[in-house]
Structure 1
Amino acid sequence: MSSTAASEKKGRVLLAYSGGLDTSCILVWLLEQGYEVYAFMADVGQEEDFDAAREKALKCGASKFFLEDLKREFVTELIYPAVQCNAIYEGVYLLGTSLARPVIARGMIEVAEREACDFVSHGCTGKGNDQVRFELAFYGLKPSIKVIAPWRLPEFYNRFPGRSALLEYAAAHGVPVVQTASKPWSTDENLFHISYEAGILEDPNTTPPSDMWKLTASPEHAPNEPEQIQIQFEKGLPVKVTTGSSTHTDAVDVFLALNALARKHGIGRVDIVENRFIGVKSRGCYESPGATILRVAHMDLEGMTLDRNVRALRDQFITIELSRILYNGYFFSPEREFLTSAIPASQATVNGTVKLKLYKGNVVVEGRTSDEGLYDEKFSSMDEMGGFEPEETSGFISVSAIRLKAWANANIRKGQGGVKPADVYGTRL
C-alpha cells in the first residue's frame, strides 16, 4: 500500500514528540499502521536541541514538524497562579510536570485544528499520570478529538515488551538512538523543574547518584558565601527580583533569574514516594529551583498581608483542591475555573517585598515590608499599649471557655474528671 493510500485510509495524526526512543519508534509505528504523522514539540523551557529534534522527526518519516514556544503562557497562566495559592501535592511536590501539561495539550489541539488532524497521539506509559493529564486536557478542549495511546494498545506493548525490542526496531528502521545506559532513569524537563523516575530509582532505598541531578549544584559544593536577594510582589505575583548587581521585572525574566540563583545555591531538590492518580505509588526525584524560592517568599509575605480567615479558607480548600486538580489532570474543567476565579480575590492585599538569603540549599527569610495595614507594629508590641486594652481579653477568654467548662463538668459528673497528663495517651500511671 502506498503512503498516500494509507493516509487516506487511516487519517492524519499529530504526535507529541520528544525526540527520544519511545516517540521516535511510535512515529515510525504509526506510519507502519497507515497514518500520516505530524510531529509536535512544545518549548516550555527545557534544555533541548530543537533543530536536531526537527531533523530526527522528519528523518523518521513525519510529514511536518511543529515547534511552539509556550514559555510565556506557561509562566503567566500556570506557574504564577500556582505560586499565588501555594500549590503543592502531598506536602512536598511542587507540581512541575503537572503544570506544563495543560499548556502543551492546548498547543497540540490548536495545531491539530489548524492542520486538520484526525487524531492526536502521545508516548505516555499505561501506568503513569501523564496519559490521564494529556487525554483529559484533549477532551476538555476538543471533545470530538480521537486519541491514539500506543502504550495501551496490545498490538503495540506486546510487540515492544522492553527497551531492547524498541532498540531493535529503531535499528531496523534507521531511527537514530542516543545510548543512555550510563543514566538508567527517565526525565522530564521544563522551565519550572526536572523530574527523574524509573530505572534504578524504582528501588525507593536507592540513593540517587550525585551525577543524576542536572539543574542544581550539590548543596555541599554550593558557594560558601550566602547571597541576599529581594522579591517584590503585587497581588501575590512576583514583579521584581533584585540582587546586588541586577534587577528583573519581566515575568519570564523574573522566573529565569530565580532559577539561576537557586541552581547556583543548590536549592530545590526533593526525593519522594508519591501516590499516582491511578492508585500506584511511585518514587520520584525533582529539582524545582526558582519555584522553591518563590514559595518561601510568597508564604512569608502572606503572613504579614493576608487576613487570617481568608488565608485559612484558601489553605484548606483552594490550595488542596487545585493541587489535586493539577496533579490528576482536570485543568480544563468547571471545578478548576471555579477555584482559580477565587485566587485574585485572595491575593488583593499580598503586596510587599521579602528579603531572602540563599545558602547551601536553604532559603532563609531575613525580613519583609508592606504598605498593607494588616500588621500594626504598635498594636503588636510588648512595650506599649498601642490602643490595645489588655483587660478586654478577660471577656474574650471567658466566652471562649464556656464550652470547655461545660465539657469538663460533664466529665466530672461521669467520674472522669481530674485528667492526668498520661491520660491523653490512653494510659494511667
Structure 2
Amino acid sequence: MDDFIAARSQMALSLGFHIIFSCIGMIMPFFMAVSHFKWLKTGNIVYRNVTRAWSRGVAIFFATGAVSGTVLSFELGLLWPEFMKHAGPIFGMPFSLEGTAFFIEAIALGFYLYGWNKFNKWFHWFTGVIVGVSGLASGILVVAANAWMNSPAGFDYVNGQYLNIDPIAAMFNDAWFSQALHMILAALTATGFAVAGVHALMILKRKNVLFHTKAFRIAAVFACAGAILQPLSGDISAKDVAKRQPVKLAAMEAHFKTEEKAALILGGIPDEQNDTVHYALKIPGALSFLAHGNFKTPVTGLEAFPKDVRPPVAITHYAFQLMVGLGMLMLLIAVFYFFTLWRKKKWLEKRWLLKLFAAAIPVGFIAVEAGWTVTEVGRQPWIIYGIMRTRDAVTPMPGIVYSFYIFTAVYVSLSVVVVALLYRQVRMVGKLYDVS
C-alpha cells in the first residue's frame, strides 16, 4: 500500500465511522423530544422512562461523534494540505458555522441531561429540541461543504489561481440542497430502523415489554416515514447528478454507451476493459426517464469521457446497487407497517413483525455507507470536481501507511467501547425502568 492509497483509506475509515455517529446524533434527539412531549401531555411514566433512557444514548453518541469529528477536521489538514490551502478560504464558512452549532448542541445537551426537576418542564423539553435542531444544522453544514467538492462554486479559477471568493455562494452551491435532503432522510431512516429493531429484539426476549413497545412505535414511525420519503429525495439527487456530474451517473449505472431510451441496469458485472456490463437486467428507457424525465432523452455514457477522468466503475456501481436495493427493502417494510397501523392493528403484536424489524437493524446504516461510497468514489479522480485531482492534494509526508494502521486500531477500539456502553445501557433499562 503506497502513501496515497493509505491516505485515502484512512479518510474513508474515519468517514465511515463518523457517519454512523453523526446520523444518530442528528436524529435521536428528536425521538427523545417526541417521547418527552408524550410524557408531558399524558403523564404516562413509561414515556418519561423512555425519554431518560434515550437521553443517555444521545449523550454516548454525542461524545463519540465529537471525538471522531475532531479527528476528521485534523485529517483534512494533515492528509490533504494542498486541498485545504486553496479550499479552506472558500468553503470554510460552513465548517465554522458547524462549530457554532456544535457548541449550541453541547450547551443544550448539558441543560437537558442535568435539568430534570430543575427547570420549567416545557423549557426543559425545549432544550432537548434545541439539541436535535443544532445537531441537524451541524449535519447540513458539513454536507454543504462536501457538496462544494462535488459542485465547486463561489470563486473564479484563473491560471491556477482561486480568485473572487464568495463564501456564501460556495456554501449554497448547486449540490447542497439535494445532498442535504438525501442525507437527512437517510439518517432518519437508518437511525429509526436501528432503534426500532433494538426495541423489537427486547420485546421478543420479553424484557420490559411495555417500555420497549412504546419506544419501538415511536422509532418505527420515524423510520418508515423516512423510508417512504427517501426515494423522492433519491430522484432529486439522481437528476442533479445527471446534470452536474454525468460521468458519476454513468458509473453508478455502469452505463457505457451514450444512447437514447437508455436502459436502467439492475445488477450486472461491469467490464471496464471492454466498456460493457455482463449479466444485467435492463429496463429500456427507464434511465432516460429517471435522469431527465423523458424516456427518449439520451444519457451520456462512460465512452464520452477519457479513462483517466472516469471513477472506478465497479465500486461505484455495486455501492449504488446496494444502496438502492436496501432502500427499496426498507420502503417495502415501511409500506407494510403503515398498512398494519391502518387496517391490521392486531398484527402489531405478532412476533414475525418484530422479527422483521429486528433483522433490519443494520440495513439502514449499510445503505448509508454505500451511499457515501457512491458520493466519494464516484467523484474520483477529483477532490474538487473538475479542478483539483485527489492525487495532487495528498501530503508529501512519508509513512502515512503507519498512520492508517494506528487510526484503524483507534477506531476499532472506539467502536468496541461504544458497543459495550450501549449494551450496558440496554441491560440497565430492564432494571431501572421495569414497570411491567
Give the TM-score band, short-chain normalised. under 0.3
Q: Which has the higher helix share?
A: 2
Higher relative contact order (CA 8 A, sep 6+): 2
| Structure with max Cα Rg | 1
TM-score w.r.t. the length of structure 2 is 0.23
TM-score w.r.t. the length of structure 1 is 0.23
